Amino acid sequence: MIRHRCVACGTVSALRLCDRCVPAHYHRLAAPPSPAFLGDYDGPVGLAVRRVKVRRDTHLATHLCLQAARRVDHLLTGDWTAVVPAPSLWHTRLLRGFSLASILAAHVSRHTGLPAREILSRSGWRKQSSMARGERFHNALQTIRCTRPISGRILLVDDVWTTGATARACAYQLMSAGAENVAIMALCAVPKNRSRSR
């Protein structure tokens, strides 16, 4: 496991902020940039994403992810190291039979030639959608882990961007594991004036 010194109190920690300091100092974590996305959650892309999840429509999932992968080139100027999917809860993946973020990562990998690396894991049972806005980032930071060291510039991919809590925790874990920079791509994004949880 990679070890760090907490930037707030100096104790040895698995993260750049120890569990004790996260609530008071989470604002010190660099927020990732806004994501690139294929469409709005309230539009046709969001409807397709919901259909994929509810009906377990893998054909539609493949079509969506292929369309998104074809639009990734403008994000990737310069040298990039890997594509990393945001992790889903294991029971959600088991119930659905697939991870939409992993399908997206595979298509982006095929399109760009970058390796897809599933190095983020998520523990626990509780979905982000069951939490208040203030809880989401802290929960994601506590339950998402990077399982291997990584270096260079990473493209993080996910299905839905809402508050950015999941992506921010993923980016933080990747950078704690050695990534130099993290860009984010999602299939769809929830408009800021809407309150849906992710």
Residue 191's pLDDT is 83
Question: Does the structure show a pLDDT above 50 at 1?
Answer: no
Residue 131 DSSP code? S
Residues whose CB falls within 8 Å of the CB of residue 47, separated by 6 or more in sequence, listed in order: none
Query: Are residues 6 and 28 in contact, defined by beta-carbon separation less than 8 angstroms?
Result: no
Question: Does the structure show a pLDDT above 80 at 94?
Answer: yes
The residue type at 150: I
Residue 74's pLDDT is 76
Question: Does the structure show a pLDDT above 50 at 198?
Answer: no
Backbone CA torsion sign across 27, 87, 181, 187: negative
Residue 18's pLDDT is 72
Q: What are the chain's domains?
A: 1-30 (no CATH), 31-189 (3.40.50.2020)
Tally the C-alpha atoms within 13 A of residue 6's C-alpha that lie toward its C-beta.
15
Confidence of residue 197 (pLDDT cuts 50, 70, 90): very low
Percent of the chain with pLDDT over 70: 81
Higher per-residue pLDDT: 23 or 20: 20
Query: Are residues 115 and 82 in contact, defined by beta-carbon separation less than 8 angstroms?
Result: yes
Can you count the helices (H) and strands (E) in the chain?
Answer: 7, 8
Query: Are residues 76 and 155 in contact, defined by beta-carbon separation less than 8 angstroms?
Result: yes
